[in-house]
Structure 1
Amino acid sequence: MKVIPSEQHGFCLGASTTTQLVDSTFDWTTALSNKNSVDIIYLDLSKAFDKVSHIKLLSKIANLGISTQVLMWLKDYLSKRHMYVKVGYDYSDRFSCHSGVPQGGVLSPLLFIVYCYDLPDGLKTHPNVKIQIYSDDINIYGNYNEQSKDEVHSAVSESLRRMVDWANSHGIPINLNKSTVFHIGKSFSGEYSVNGTILIKSNLAKDLGVLFDSRMQFTNLIDHITKKALSTLFTILRNVHTNDQHVLLRLYKSYVLPHLEYCSQIWNPHTKKLQRKVERVQQIFTRILFYRTATNLLPSLPSYKIGLKHLSLQSLLYRRVFNYLSFCFRILRLHTKLRASKYWGFRISRARTGGLGLYCKGISTVSNNIIFNTFFRRGARWMNMLRLNIVNSANLATFKKKLRKLDLLRLLKMEDY
């Protein structure tokens, strides 16, 4: 029996927020490419980890054929737990925990996934209705055209009704007032409601930390992450009183870079304007760093490119492209939960260098810039520009090593900063 469903991307080997979002955006952009629309429902579960019923959880584990000894050990692990609040040296009364998995426990994510393992199959009501789950974040979406609009709307509504029934029977309430409907495309199938509550329709959706708009552009997201990165950078520079270059570099890499690179495979900008906006954060940092760590007054600052070389940094554009290709390699080598055959196909390459011959499935060849630069389509173009001896590397470490030896951006006909 398959315990962890393919729709679950949380706390699983080879899965992450990136794998879920890459898979979702492929479905959405494929629909847009075929002149379809998509309705996406984001469901807000209230305190899901705290509401897990121990009785139902143990019953599900038993149904999976787990040995009696392990089952009894898990029962003992979950039972006779107490909680209290400590303020200073004072303690509140102790209360017994009759539900929930221990917060921060090593087993807790796995136990929650087991608790929900039967959920995706129960929500599948139509071939055009898909489910995506990351831990307790659940999305239901359906794609449709004018002819199938009413049919898919009814199917998504039925999936939503089943989701509410499952949540109620498992003691995990859904906060319908915080659940939203996000629409992509020209045609909208109509409102969604549950028990008389109409779900809020939003023009923006924050999916696992990535901000989407209805046109699948990422201008709002890039505005947000650059502001957040600059705010974090200036907070560090104001409060860390050191001129040690190595310390400041480490703080930048630990606290600022993650804002600029989280799930960049999804939103990697294709326009110069947005590329410059992201790069500007690192340009500001390097300029301040040279001023701050100078032992005497500098007659002039080094150029950005020379400064990066001195600090052993790469441009943010280079880092995004490098990570992009590395993720493509991982998908092709089945190092992730994603199946490459869903997104890519192969054909005989006519390139003199013997390219990979990769092409993106589903997405039409005549499309706008947004669809043209989606992850799998752009990934296919870039991977085809690499020599076969690089693409056929034995492992990811070797692939990365070979990439580092290339003038990568020049090979991909891109201008570095």
Structure 2
Amino acid sequence: MIVFLCVCMCVIPTAAFDTVNHQILLSTLRKMGISGTALQWLNSYLSDRSFRVSWRGEVSKSQQLATGVPQGSVLGPLLFSIYMTSLGSVIQKHGFSYHCYADDTQLYFSFQPDDPTVVARISACLSDISSWMNDHHLQLNLTKTELLVVPANPSFHHNFSIQLGSSTITPSRTARNLGVVMDHQLSFTDHIATTTRSCRFALYNIRKIRPFLSEQATQLLVQALVLSRLDYCNALLAGLPACTIKPLQLIQNAAARVVFNEPKTAHVTPLLIRLHWLPVAARIKFKVLMLAYKTTTGTAPTYLNSLVQSYAPSRSLRSASERRLVVPSQRGSKSLSRTFSWTAPSWWNDLPISIRTAESLLIFKKHLKTHLFRLHLTN
């Protein structure tokens, strides 16, 4: 039995961008091949920055900023990501895989449940990360460091803790990963509940001002504040039972009624058709299939490209030109049906060949939405 362990670590977000050492950053850029005028531009961008504080009509004297990158700028997050690149070798040295997004870092690895070295490996890795951050003028926020154990067998019970300095880290039932609430069973019920609450609050506020809004303005507000939340990382919900994602569908139904100022009892399908909104289940499928198309063209992220394989028949067959994907066997693994490596090829191969062989992402997107719209709303 394999147990999957996800360790999420975050540096203090309010100080991370502000404590970047300029000399270390410029040295890192130089090692990456940036030199001459380009390096001078970046040096100029970072240096001679100052700030003032305005309070009740009074303005303080200017103070020099000797460290940090502007967080609200276009270059800020990119420069910070470059600043963090050498952390990868520290993490990989301990046998961990990792993903970094600006100041948010996730570590993960799998292990056997009876492996006696797990605690020592995690502790050593966290200790080295803490040392690396100290050397780079950053601080590891242990209060926001979360440890999530995802067992392959739900009956498996873990009981261990990680000691780092005076702090103790124990496995938690949920962990927030870039706005997604992940639970130890990967059921995403907590994430759906959180999304539902935030959408309900947004709809409540829109309803209060609905009498003063036009239909078009209401639709724009709903799409920006509600549908954007329903669509965020919704590919993770692929394969979940209809009853699990039903709360999200109820939110979309309520949103459609708000747009047209209809009562709660109004039939929602005609409203979705008028808005040209795909239902929640179809939106999930739409997102997965968009990513699947990108894997067939090699434009998806590397970690997704490695999860799917193009179908190549051993003999010269007509299906060789149909752009099909290999569907892995589910033998011995019930949970495989919820993974991208299974849902993407399965749903992809079910598409009409005219959609699978679309010449561009834009054409594919247009035809896919029309196909799903007919399948879920007009049939």
Tell me the TM-score normalized by structure 2.
0.87
How far, CA to CA, are the matches of 2:161 and 2:340 in structure 1? Answer: 30
Tell me the TM-score normalized by structure 1.
0.80
Match of 2:47 in 1: 79
Superposition pairs of residues 49-68 of structure 1, within 5 angstroms: 49-68=17-36
- What are the superposed Cα offsets for residues 130-166 of structure 1, whole Å, 9 maximum, x if unpaired? 111111101122210135x223443333222221111
Match of 2:225 in 1: 255
Query: CA 1:223 to 1:269, structure 2 compared with 1: closer, same or farther past 3 Å?
Result: farther
CA contact (8 A) 1:140 1:156 kept: no
How far, CA to CA, are the matches of 1:324 and 1:165 in structure 2? Answer: 39
Match of 1:229 in 2: 199
Match of 1:135 in 2: 102
Name which structure has the greater RCO, CA cutoff 8 Å, separation 6+. Answer: 1
Q: How far off its partner does 1:235 sit?
A: 0.6
Superposition pairs of residues 128-207 of structure 1, within 5 angstroms: 129-146=96-113, 149-185=115-151, 186=156, 188=158, 190-207=160-177
1:272 to 224, 242, 253: 242
Query: CA 1:60 to 1:289, structure 2 compared with 1: closer, same or farther past 3 Å?
Result: closer
Question: Is 2:276 the partner of 1:312?
Answer: yes
Tell me the secondary structure at the aligned position of residue 198 of structure 1: strand
Tell me the secondary structure at the aligned position of residue 306 of structure 2: helix
CA contact (8 A) 1:334 1:340 kept: no
How far, CA to CA, are the matches of 1:286 and 1:385 in structure 2? Answer: 29
How far, CA to CA, are the matches of 2:246 and 2:378 in structure 1? Answer: 10
Q: How far off its partner does 1:302 sit?
A: 5.7
Mean Cα deviation higher: 398-407 or 202-211: 398-407
Match of 2:89 in 1: 121
Query: CA 1:405 to 1:140, structure 2 compared with 1: closer, same or farther past 3 Å?
Result: closer
Tell me the secondary structure at the aligned position of residue 182 of structure 2: strand
Amino acid at match of 1:49: F
Amino acid at match of 1:318: A
Amino acid at match of 1:287: R
- What are the superposed Cα offsets for residues 3-27 of structure 1, whole Å, 9 maximum, x if unpaired? xxxxxxxxxxxxxxxxxxxxxxxxx
Question: Is 2:74 the partner of 1:110?
Answer: no
Amino acid at match of 1:326: M
Q: Which structure has the highest helix share of the two? A: 2
Q: How far off its partner does 1:266 sit?
A: 0.9
How far, CA to CA, are the matches of 2:2 and 2:260 in structure 1? Answer: 51
Match of 1:17 in 2: none
Question: Is 2:289 the partner of 1:325?
Answer: yes
Query: CA 1:407 to 1:51, structure 2 compared with 1: closer, same or farther past 3 Å?
Result: closer
2:340 to 366, 375, 384: 375
Amino acid at match of 1:383: W
CA contact (8 A) 1:287 1:301 kept: no
Aligned residues between the structures: 369
Query: CA 1:194 to 1:316, structure 2 compared with 1: closer, same or farther past 3 Å?
Result: same
Q: How far off its partner does 1:301 sit?
A: 6.9
Tell me the secondary structure at the aligned position of residue 39 of structure 1: strand
Query: CA 1:310 to 1:83, structure 2 compared with 1: closer, same or farther past 3 Å?
Result: same
Query: CA 1:409 to 1:378, structure 2 compared with 1: closer, same or farther past 3 Å?
Result: farther
1:396 to 353, 361, 370: 361
CA contact (8 A) 1:164 1:174 kept: yes
Amino acid at match of 1:394: E
Query: Aligned residues: percent identity?
Result: 23
Q: How far off its partner does 1:307 sit?
A: 2.2
Query: CA 1:124 to 1:339, structure 2 compared with 1: closer, same or farther past 3 Å?
Result: closer
CA contact (8 A) 2:8 2:145 kept: yes
Tell me the secondary structure at the aligned position of residue 331 of structure 1: helix
How far, CA to CA, are the matches of 1:404 and 1:259 in structure 2? Answer: 19
Mean Cα deviation higher: 206-215 or 401-410: 401-410
RMSD of aligned residue pairs (Cα, Å): 2.9
Query: CA 1:181 to 1:416, structure 2 compared with 1: closer, same or farther past 3 Å?
Result: farther
